[in-house]
């Protein structure tokens, strides 16, 4: 598909944040002179409802094919402006944001220098946008199932609660029976019977430990033995052990498990949390939860409470039928150029690359790839392209910046 070259540039004042430090009218004026830029203007606050409405009407009214928005960090509002583009029937990847707030206004106090810097950054974006291509997001339906690792009181409670709500749960236990630390205690007798019964949507795997975990929220794939278990969420219920000096540490194999998940750990080896008080059972990895003593030592009643909370969090976020958008800014490997040296495999943190032993080349799983670009940078053969970060696009951006 060929897309036209009509570019519109919008410079945001961000209230006083940007406009007070640099001359945004001059930025818009300078950029307006560039080839292909058919409109270049300023606005008070583009992310406000009025600003978004204004953008939609300007994009539609001027038949813009490409848009540059000079405003804040893409971390703040890239999604906002991508949605604006979609509303205006413009492929969201035809838009490029330039961060003239954090990268310019907040760090460059001199008015002239800041203005010149902003002009260069926006010029780079304009030249880059000229080489943008529309990308299509794919939608996959999230997997509502859960895999629980650890068959102690906490793991069993989580599994039973989820199963009672009609969810499929795979419960993985490394020993030959459920029960965990409280094995033999009457408090775990009933749940152990329930999870062992095979009813209620719980599949229990004894003598099993995960060997590989790839994927992300809504789409995890866990390998154990010859099995592949697919799930939308992962619950860590692996317990803890008392140390010789009177403290507590995570279970013996927990470090390995954390490595499989690329889960960050605190100083004591317990998993870090998304937020200590607001989200105390969610880990920094979306869709991975921690319950029972795996999150630090606790009494059985607290373990049950934690498990109830985790089950609730999963039931409310992992709704059956929920669609997840896959990242279209992924990497692709050219089979013709790949020499199969597996360098990319080493640097991929998402387990998205595999080696084809017959063709002797590597390939990317587009659903697992998050588009970080590590592989493209590492490939010595230049056989990997990061969509939306092609050498061509980057080259023109840098050129626009420097000239």
Partner 1 sequence: MRDVLLNLMLRALESGVADYVLTPSRGPGGTFPWILVNDVRLLDRAEPFPPVMYVQGAKALASFARSPFGGKVLAVMRPCEARAAVELSKLDQVTMQNVYFLTMDCPGAVPVKSYRNGDFTEPDPGEPESLRPLCRQCTHFTGAGDLFLALHGGPPVFRPVTGSGRELLETLGMETGEDRAEWVEWRDALLRHRKEARKRGMEDMRRSYTGLGGLARLYGGCISCRNCRTVCPICYCRLCFIDMKDRRSPASDHLHRSGERGGDRLPGGTLLFHMGRMAHMSLSCVSCGMCEDACPSDIPVGRMVSMVSEKTAAVFGYEAGRDTEEPLPLNTFEPDELHEYED
- Interface residues with partner 1 (CB under 8 A) are 336-343, 346-347, 360, 378, 380-383, 390-392, 395, 399, 403
Shortest Å, Cβ 348 to partner 1: 11
Shortest Å, Cβ 272 to partner 1: 15
The DSSP result for 137-183, as a single string, is --EEEPP--EEEE--BHHHHHHHHHHHHTT--EEEE-SSSSSBGGGT
Of 7 and 100, nearer to partner 1 (C-beta) is 7
| Of residues 282, 278, 304, the one with CA closest to residue 292 | 304
| DSSP class of 102 | I
Phi, psi of 65, rounded to the nearest 5 degrees: -100, -25
Of 58 and 342, nearer to partner 1 (C-beta) is 342
Angle in degrees, 0-180, between the axes of helices 111-130 and 391-402, rounded to the nearest 10 = 150
Of 186 and 403, nearer to partner 1 (C-beta) is 403
Shortest Å, Cβ 209 to partner 1: 24
- Residue 368: strand, helix, or coil: coil
- Residue 332: strand, helix, or coil: strand
Of 283 and 393, nearer to partner 1 (C-beta) is 393
Shortest Å, Cβ 392 to partner 1: 5
Of 165 and 347, nearer to partner 1 (C-beta) is 347
Of 26 and 262, nearer to partner 1 (C-beta) is 262
In this structure, how many other beta carbons lie within 10 angstroms of the beta carbon of residue 266?
Answer: 10
Shortest Å, Cβ 340 to partner 1: 6
Burial label for 238, CB within 10 Å (0-12, 13-18, 19+), is: buried
Evaluate whether 172 touches 151 at the Cβ level (below 8 Å): yes
Strand 353-356, strand 361-364: pairing: antiparallel
Shortest Å, Cβ 357 to partner 1: 8
């Amino acid at each position: 598909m060929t897309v036209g070259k009509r570019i519109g540039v919008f410079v945001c004042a961000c209230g006083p944040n940007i406009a007070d430090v640099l001359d945004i009218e001059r930025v818009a004026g300078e950029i307006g002179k560039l080839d292909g830029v058919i409109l270049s203007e300023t606005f008070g606050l583009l992310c406000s409802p009025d600003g978004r409405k204004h953008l939609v009407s300007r994009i539609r009214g001027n038949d813009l094919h490409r848009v540059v928005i000079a405003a804040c960090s893409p971390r703040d509002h890239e999604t906002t402006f991508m949605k604006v583009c979609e509303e205006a029937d413009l492929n969201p990847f035809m838009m490029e944001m330039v961060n003239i707030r954090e990268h310019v206004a907040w760090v460059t106090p001199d008015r002239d220098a800041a203005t010149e810097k902003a002009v260069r950054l926006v010029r780079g974006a304009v030249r880059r946008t000229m080489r943008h291509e529309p990308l299509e997001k794919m939608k996959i339906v999230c997997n509502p199932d859960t895999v629980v690792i650890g068959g102690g009181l906490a793991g069993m409670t989580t599994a039973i609660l989820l199963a009672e709500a009609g969810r499929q749960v795979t419960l993985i236990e490394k020993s030959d029976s459920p029960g965990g630390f409280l094995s033999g205690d009457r408090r775990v007798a009933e749940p152990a019977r329930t999870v062992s019964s095979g009813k209620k949507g719980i599949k229990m795997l004894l003598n099993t430990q995960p060997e590989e975990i790839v994927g992300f929220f809504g789409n995890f794939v866990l390998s154990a033995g010859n099995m592949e278990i697919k799930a939308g969420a992962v619950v860590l219920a692996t317990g803890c052990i008392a140390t010789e000096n009177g403290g507590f540490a995570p279970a013996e194999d927990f470090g390995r498990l954390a490595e499989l998940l690329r889960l960050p750990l605190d100083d004591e080896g317990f998993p870090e949390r998304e937020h200590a008080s607001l989200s105390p059972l969610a880990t920094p990895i979306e869709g991975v939860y921690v319950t029972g003593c795996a999150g630090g030592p606790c009494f059985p009643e607290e373990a049950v409470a934690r498990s109830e909370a985790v089950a609730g969090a999963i039931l409310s976020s992992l709704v059956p039928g929920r669609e997840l958008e896959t990242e279209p800014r992924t990497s692709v490997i050219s089979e013709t150029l790949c020499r199969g040296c597996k360098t990319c495999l080493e640097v991929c943190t998402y387990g998205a690359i595999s080696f084809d032993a017959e063709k002797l080349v590597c390939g990317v799983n587009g659903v697992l790839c998050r588009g970080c670009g590590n592989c493209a940078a590492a490939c010595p053969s230049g056989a990997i392209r990061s969509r939306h970060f092609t050498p061509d696009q980057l080259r023109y951006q840098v050129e626009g910046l420097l000239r």
